[in-house]
Structure 1
Amino acid sequence: MTTASSATTSHDGSAGLGALLRAALPSIPVVGSLPGVRKASADGFGGLSYDRPPVTVDGEHVHAYAEVCGFPHKDTVPLTYPHMLAFGLHMAIMTDPAFPAPAIGTVHLENSVTRYRQISIGDTLQVSASVSPSRPHAKGRVFDFTTAITDGDGTPVWESTSSYLRRGTGDSDAPAGLEIPTTPSNGVVWKLPADLGRRYAAVSGDHNPIHLYPVTAKALGFPRQIAHGMWSLARCVAALENRLPEAVTVDVAFKKPILLPGKVAFGSERYDDGYLFSLTDPRSSAPHLVGRAAAH
């Protein structure tokens, strides 16, 4: 993979409604072609890097996240929680005029998370995020966003790679991506409420309109609002976390949007030194998400 640009921009880490507006503007006809809004060409894009000032893990925010994602309340943070500390940096990168793809309409394909050690409430962390030049995919181009989190001594404690597809001219010879088998349901079905996307948005800062209301989702081509991909990953991890080691890697591929309100079936099974897991449609068994977790 090509390394992202060495220049790093500092950002406060916020991801409010202003960021959402900046994300939407490049997708609006006429407005998207204006100076300062128009996206740069993908040709010659060398990557972007952002970081934020040191951040102390806030217990109230951790507990609010745990509540909406199904984790128990602990003095340590859920495995997927550190993504909350980096999401504002991801949005800053996507809304940077140098980033060649609009944020709205970019599809979350895959995610890989590695925890090196537990992170405690009250820990002070360094958070950075970067994106490399795109790579080919059968349906367009993929941008890999890498997040690195270290402690005060600079020791890595958590990292992730979030892969996003921008649809376009594809390459039939491109790698297929994660190949993880679908795990049959264990008979566990979760009923998801209509306001789940709004509840997760309030905690995460991800107010993408496809997750909020039927009318906003329909405007972007969905029959009604859909669950956040990172919520579905977190909910699966919450069902497994007490069986996972401290140092662990979780990989997921997002297959089919989860419409809200709706139902999903959870399945998991032992595999080598870890677990395979999935979320499927309870009626058709079509996969929404497939994943695996293993000791790092």
Structure 2
Amino acid sequence: MTELAGLPALPPLLLRGALLSPFKRPRPDADHPRDRLVVPGLRVDLGRLAAYERVCGFPTGEDALPVTYPHVLGFPLAMRLMSGRAFPLPLLGLVHTSIEMTRRGPLAAGGTYELGVHVDGLAPHRRGTEAVVVTELRADGEVVWESRSTYLARHRTRTAPAAAAPVREERDLLPAVEEWQLADDVGRRYGAVSGDRNPIHLSPLTARLFGFPRAIAHGMWTVARCLAAHGTPDAVLVRAGFRAPVLLPGAVTYAAQGGRFELRGGEKTHVTGDVYALVP
């Protein structure tokens, strides 16, 4: 375990990750960082939290963290691990494919927390290699929020189809609830409040360098926006999968029924998710 005095600055980490990316040779049996990065005594910047809530559609001024916000807090620690030499997957082109978040009760915005992040392992995927990154938020020594995110590095693989990760199951379309018109600055606005200024989200010019016709929305913004509309109980498990990028500007349909939600655009389904109430 490595204890840090505070959250690291993101720009140097993103630059380091970009510079090292061409030298990475991803494979599922590669070694990965074993260290757990920890920031004790963490307090939330309430101004930044309010800006995040506005961008994502959550109500502001409440003494509670949105279920997605601890991911934003942990992002600099995740980037410190994934931008280092010991992490075998290239940061450039890494795709966030899914997230599972568990909140065991309401999280006070004014609380003091211990934040920890570690890489849980690598696994073969039918399109390359996937890494699992775990983020935990603790209060008084107890885990009050945790997540498991999967990140995919695409590359040629010799893995037999039967051993590769299974294709995601198809789900029946949910009834439409709202239509959202997304402006071309959504990526820049979310990047400003989250710190994730990946060039694929910022402008058509920088997105084209990575093969996208226009800038794309952050996956975590799409999930946060859906959960802001859907609502979540205090104790909750959320599972979400990112299936196709959301081009900006663009029109999308938020659909939901019971504990399920999804975001669609035309014939594409961009995000699917499930919300489960937990017994505190």
| TM-score normalised according to structure 1 size | 0.86
Cα shift at 1:40: 9.0
Percent identity, aligned pairs only, is 40
Q: Which residue of 2 aligns with 1:17?
A: 11
Question: Residues 123 and 183 (structure 1 numbering): CA distance in 2 closer, same or farther, change over 3 Å?
Answer: farther
Candidates 231, 240, 250, aligned match of 1:262: 250
Q: Find out whether 1:233 has 2:215 as its counterpart.
A: no
Deviation at 1:20, TM superposition (A): 1.7
Please tell me whether residue 202 in structure 1 is matched to residue 192 in structure 2: yes
Alignment-mate amino acid for residue 13 of structure 2: A
| CA–CA distance in structure 1, aligned partners of residues 102 and 217 of structure 2 | 23
Separation in structure 1 between the aligned mates of residue 106 and residue 145 of structure 2, nearest angstrom: 9
- Offset, 1:208: 0.4
- 1:82-93 maps to which residues of 2 (within 5 A)? 82-93=70-81
2:277 is aligned with what amino acid? A
Q: What's the Cα RMSD here?
A: 2.0
- How many Å apart are 1:88 and its aligned residue? 0.3
Higher normalized strand content (fraction of residues): 2
- Structure 1 position 15, deviation (Å): 4.0
Alpha-carbon distance in 2 for matches of 1:266, 1:148: 29
Secondary structure of 2:227's partner? helix
For residue 62 of structure 1, give the secondary structure of its aligned residue in structure 2.
helix
Matches within 5 A, 1:58-137: 58-73=45-60, 74-137=62-125
Q: Out of 9-18 and 261-270, give the one that drifted further.
A: 9-18
Deviation at 1:47, TM superposition (A): 3.4
1:220 aligns with 2:220: no
Aligned-residue offset at 1:180 = 6.5
Deviation string, structure 1 residues 227-279 (Cα, Å, up to 9, x no partner): 000000100100111xx321100001100000001111000001xxxx11100
Superposed counterparts of 1:187-198, under 5 Å: 187-198=177-188
Deviation for aligned residue 1:43? 2.9
Question: Following TM superposition, by how much is the alpha carbon of 1:174 offset from its aligned partner in structure 2, in angstroms?
Answer: 2.4
- Could you tell me how far 1:39 is from its partner in structure 2? 7.2
- 1:138 Cα offset (Å): 1.0
CA 137–11 in structure 1, closer or farther in 2 if over 3 Å, else same: farther
Aligned residue for 1:26?
Answer: 20
Change (3 A) 1:233 1:177: farther
> In the aligned structure 2, how far is the partner of 1:40 from the partner of 1:111?
21
Count of aligned pairs: 273
Query: What is the CA deviation profile of residues 79-112 of structure 1, one whole-angstrom value per residue up to 9, with x for unaligned ones?
Result: 1111111000010011111001111111111110
Instruction: Judge conservation of contact 1:57–1:121 (CA < 8 Å) in 2.
Output: yes
Distance in 2 of aligned mates of 1:110 and 1:290: 10
TM-score by length of 2: 0.91
Pair 126,59 (structure 1): closer, same or farther in 2 beyond 3 Å: same
Residue 3 of structure 1 corresponds to none
Following the alignment from structure 1 to structure 2, what is the Cα–Cα distance between the partners of residues 163 and 68?
24
Amino acid at match of 1:116: R
- Matches of 2:18 and 2:225, distance apart in 1: 28
Letter in structure 1 aligned against 2:19: L
- Contact in 2 for aligned 1:127/1:147 (Cα 8 Å): yes
Q: Could you say what secondary structure the match of 1:184 adopts?
A: coil
- Tell me, in whole angstroms, the C-alpha distance in 2 between the residues paired with 1:136 and 1:114: 25
Structure 2 unaligned residues grouped into runs of 5+: none
Give the aligned residue type for 1:140: G
Q: Structure 2 CA distance, aligned partners of 1:160 and 1:170?
A: 30
Q: Structure 1 residues 25 and 182 mapped into 2: Cα distance closer, same or farther (>3 Å)? A: farther
> Which of residues 122, 125, 139 in structure 1 aligns to 2:127?
139
8 Å Cα contact 1:140-1:170 kept in structure 2: no
